[in-house]
Structure 1
Amino acid sequence: MSLGLTPEQLDLADAVGQFAGRHAPIATTRATFDALAAGQLPQWWDALVSNGFHAVHLPEELGGQGGRLIDAACVLESAGKTLLPGPLLPTVAAGAVALLADPTPAAESLIRDLAAGTAAAIVLPDDADFHARRDGQRWLITGGSKVTAGAPAARVILVGARANGGEIVWLPVDAQQPTATVESVAGTDLVADVGTLRLTDYAADESAVLTGIDPDRAACIVVGLVASTTAGIVQWCVDAVTAHLRTREQFGKIIGTFQALQHSAAMLLVNSELATAAAWDAVRAADESLDQHRLAAAGAATIAVSPIPDLVLDALTMLGAIGFTWEHDVHLYWRRAISLAGSIGPANRWARRLGELTCTQTRDMSVNLGDAESEFRSWVAETLDAAAQLRNDTPAPHGDYADQASGPQRTLIADAGLMAPHWPAPWGVDAGPLKQLIIDEEFAKRPGLVRPSLNIAEWILPSVLAAAPKELQESLIPPTQRGDIHWCQLFSEPGAGSDLASLATRATKVDGGWRINGHKIWTSLAQYADLGALLARTDPEASKHRGIGYFILDMRSPGIEIQPIKTATGQAHFNEVFFNDVFVPDEMLLGGPTDGWTLAIATMAEERSAISGYVKFDRAVALRRVASEPGPERADAQRALGELDAYTNAIRALGVRETIRLLDGQASGPASSIAKVAMNVLLRRTFAATLQLTGQVAMVDDDDAAVVEPYLHLPAELIGGGTREIQLNIIAQMILGLPRK
Structure 2
Amino acid sequence: MSLGITDEQVELADSLRKWAASLSPLEAVRAAEGDVGAGFATIWAAVEEMGVHAIAVPEADGGGGGTILDQAVALEACAHELLPGGLLGAAVGGVLTRSPGRHGIQPHDDGVVWDGGTAGAGTPALGIDLSARHAPGAGRGSADPAARRLAITLAAAEAAGVARWCLETAVDHAKVREQFGQRIGAFQAIKHLCAEMLETAEAVTAAAWDAASAADGSDDEQWSFAVDVAHLTCFDGAVEVAKSCIQVLGGIGFTYEHDAHLYLRRALSLRALAGSADAAAERLTAATVDGVRRRVDVDLEGRDLAIRPEARATAERIAALPPGEQRAALVDAGYLTPHWPTPYGLGADPTTQIVIDQELGRAGVVRPDLVIAGWAVPTILAHGTDEQRERFVRPSLLGELTWCQLFSEPGSGSDLASLRTRAVRVDGGWSLTGQKVWTSVAERADWGICLARTDTDVPQHKGITYFLVDMRSPGIEVRPLREITGEALFNEVFLDSVLVPDDCVVAEPGDGWRLARTTLANERVAMAGARLTKSVERAIELAASRDLSPVERVAVGRQVALATVCGLLGVRTTLRALGGHGPGAESSVAKLLGVRSRQDSAELVVRLQGDDLALLGPLGKESADPLAADVWEQLNTRCLSIAGGTTQILRNVAGERILGLPR
Q: CA deviation at 1:605?
A: 10
Asked if structure 2 preserves the Cα contact closer than 8 Å seen for 1:57 and 1:66, the reply is yes
Q: CA deviation at 1:524?
A: 0.7
The reply on whether 1:310 has 2:244 as its aligned counterpart is no
Distance verdict in 2 for CA 1:422–1:615, change over 3 Å: farther
Q: What is the TM-score when the length of structure 1 is the normalising length?
A: 0.83
Task: Report what 1:430 is aligned to.
Answer: 347
Task: Report what 1:26 is aligned to.
Answer: 26
The reply on whether 1:82 has 2:47 as its aligned counterpart is no
Task: Report what 2:298 is aligned to.
Answer: 367
AA partner of residue 7 (structure 1): D
The reply on whether 1:552 has 2:468 as its aligned counterpart is yes
Task: Report what 2:639 is aligned to.
Answer: 716
**SS at the partner of 1:527?**
coil
Distance verdict in 2 for CA 1:3–1:234, change over 3 Å: same
Distance verdict in 2 for CA 1:709–1:249, change over 3 Å: same
Q: CA RMSD in A?
A: 2.4
Task: Report what 1:130 is aligned to.
Answer: none
Asked if structure 2 preserves the Cα contact closer than 8 Å seen for 1:698 and 1:707, the reply is no
Task: Report what 2:277 is aligned to.
Answer: 347
The reply on whether 1:683 has 2:615 as its aligned counterpart is no
Task: Report what 1:608 is aligned to.
Answer: 524
Counterpart Cα distance in 2 of 1:663 and 1:122: 42
Task: Report what 2:327 is aligned to.
Answer: 410
Q: Once structures 1 and 2 are overlaid, which stretch shifts more, 236-245 or 51-60?
A: 51-60
Q: CA deviation at 1:39?
A: 5.4
**SS at the partner of 2:209?**
helix
Task: Report what 2:337 is aligned to.
Answer: 420
Q: CA deviation at 1:347?
A: 1.3
Matches within 5 A, 1:333-732: 333-359=263-289, 360-369=291-300, 371-392=302-323, 407-446=324-363, 448-602=364-518, 608-609=524-525, 611-612=527-528, 617-631=533-547, 633-699=548-614, 700-701=616-617, 703=623, 704-705=626-627, 706-732=629-655
Q: CA deviation at 1:504?
A: 1.0
Counterpart Cα distance in 1 of 2:184 and 2:521: 29
Q: Once structures 1 and 2 are overlaid, which stretch shifts more, 240-249 or 94-103?
A: 94-103
Asked if structure 1 preserves the Cα contact closer than 8 Å seen for 2:528 and 2:568, the reply is no
The reply on whether 1:230 has 2:153 as its aligned counterpart is no
Distance verdict in 2 for CA 1:370–1:239, change over 3 Å: closer
Q: Percent sequence identity over matched residues?
A: 38
Q: CA deviation at 1:355?
A: 1.6
Mark the runs of 5 or more structure 2 residues left unpaired by the alignment.
Answer: none
Q: CA deviation at 1:371?
A: 4.4
Task: Report what 1:16 is aligned to.
Answer: 16
Counterpart Cα distance in 2 of 1:197 and 1:256: 43
AA partner of residue 725 (structure 1): Q
Aligned residues: 648
Q: CA deviation at 1:439?
A: 1.7
Q: 1:196 pairs with 136, 141, 144, which one?
A: 136
Q: CA deviation at 1:34?
A: 3.3
Task: Report what 1:737 is aligned to.
Answer: 660
After superposition, the C-alpha distances for 1:272-310 in whole angstroms (9 at most, x for unaligned) are 011000000000001230110011000000001233223
Structure exhibiting the larger radius of gyration computed from Cα positions: 1
After superposition, the C-alpha distances for 1:675-724 in whole angstroms (9 at most, x for unaligned) are 11111221232123223322123342453334201112112322111111
Counterpart Cα distance in 1 of 2:32 and 2:93: 25
Task: Report what 2:5 is aligned to.
Answer: 5
**SS at the partner of 1:307?**
helix
After superposition, the C-alpha distances for 1:539-559 in whole angstroms (9 at most, x for unaligned) are 121221111111111100000
Q: 1:282 pairs with 191, 195, 211, which one?
A: 211
Asked if structure 2 preserves the Cα contact closer than 8 Å seen for 1:440 and 1:612, the reply is no
Counterpart Cα distance in 2 of 1:372 and 1:641: 39
Q: CA deviation at 1:324?
A: 1.9
Structure with higher strand content: 1
Q: CA deviation at 1:23?
A: 1.6
Task: Report what 2:231 is aligned to.
Answer: 301
Distance verdict in 2 for CA 1:99–1:646, change over 3 Å: farther
Counterpart Cα distance in 2 of 1:715 and 1:414: 35
Task: Report what 2:58 is aligned to.
Answer: 59
Q: CA deviation at 1:578?
A: 0.7
Q: 1:186 pairs with 81, 103, 126, which one?
A: 126
Matches within 5 A, 1:213-224: 215-224=144-153
Asked if structure 2 preserves the Cα contact closer than 8 Å seen for 1:539 and 1:594, the reply is yes
Asked if structure 1 preserves the Cα contact closer than 8 Å seen for 2:295 and 2:530, the reply is no
Q: 1:243 pairs with 148, 156, 172, which one?
A: 172
Asked if structure 2 preserves the Cα contact closer than 8 Å seen for 1:460 and 1:603, the reply is no
After superposition, the C-alpha distances for 1:64-84 in whole angstroms (9 at most, x for unaligned) are 222221111111101211111
The reply on whether 1:268 has 2:197 as its aligned counterpart is yes
Q: Once structures 1 and 2 are overlaid, which stretch shifts more, 634-643 or 85-94?
A: 634-643
Q: What is the TM-score when the length of structure 2 is the normalising length?
A: 0.93
Distance verdict in 2 for CA 1:652–1:442, change over 3 Å: same
Asked if structure 2 preserves the Cα contact closer than 8 Å seen for 1:626 and 1:637, the reply is no
Asked if structure 2 preserves the Cα contact closer than 8 Å seen for 1:73 and 1:225, the reply is yes
Q: Once structures 1 and 2 are overlaid, which stretch shifts more, 410-419 or 571-580?
A: 410-419
Q: Once structures 1 and 2 are overlaid, which stretch shifts more, 12-21 or 694-703?
A: 694-703
Counterpart Cα distance in 2 of 1:469 and 1:675: 34
After superposition, the C-alpha distances for 1:292-350 in whole angstroms (9 at most, x for unaligned) are 00110000000012332233112212221222222221111111111111111111111
Q: Once structures 1 and 2 are overlaid, which stretch shifts more, 266-275 or 507-516?
A: 507-516
Distance verdict in 2 for CA 1:470–1:617, change over 3 Å: farther
After superposition, the C-alpha distances for 1:476-508 in whole angstroms (9 at most, x for unaligned) are 111111111100011111111111111111111
The reply on whether 1:332 has 2:297 as its aligned counterpart is no
Asked if structure 2 preserves the Cα contact closer than 8 Å seen for 1:422 and 1:436, the reply is yes
**SS at the partner of 2:451?**
strand
After superposition, the C-alpha distances for 1:581-612 in whole angstroms (9 at most, x for unaligned) are 11111111111111111110115999523544
Distance verdict in 2 for CA 1:574–1:615, change over 3 Å: farther
Q: CA deviation at 1:196?
A: 2.3
Counterpart Cα distance in 1 of 2:636 and 2:337: 27
Counterpart Cα distance in 1 of 2:298 and 2:88: 28
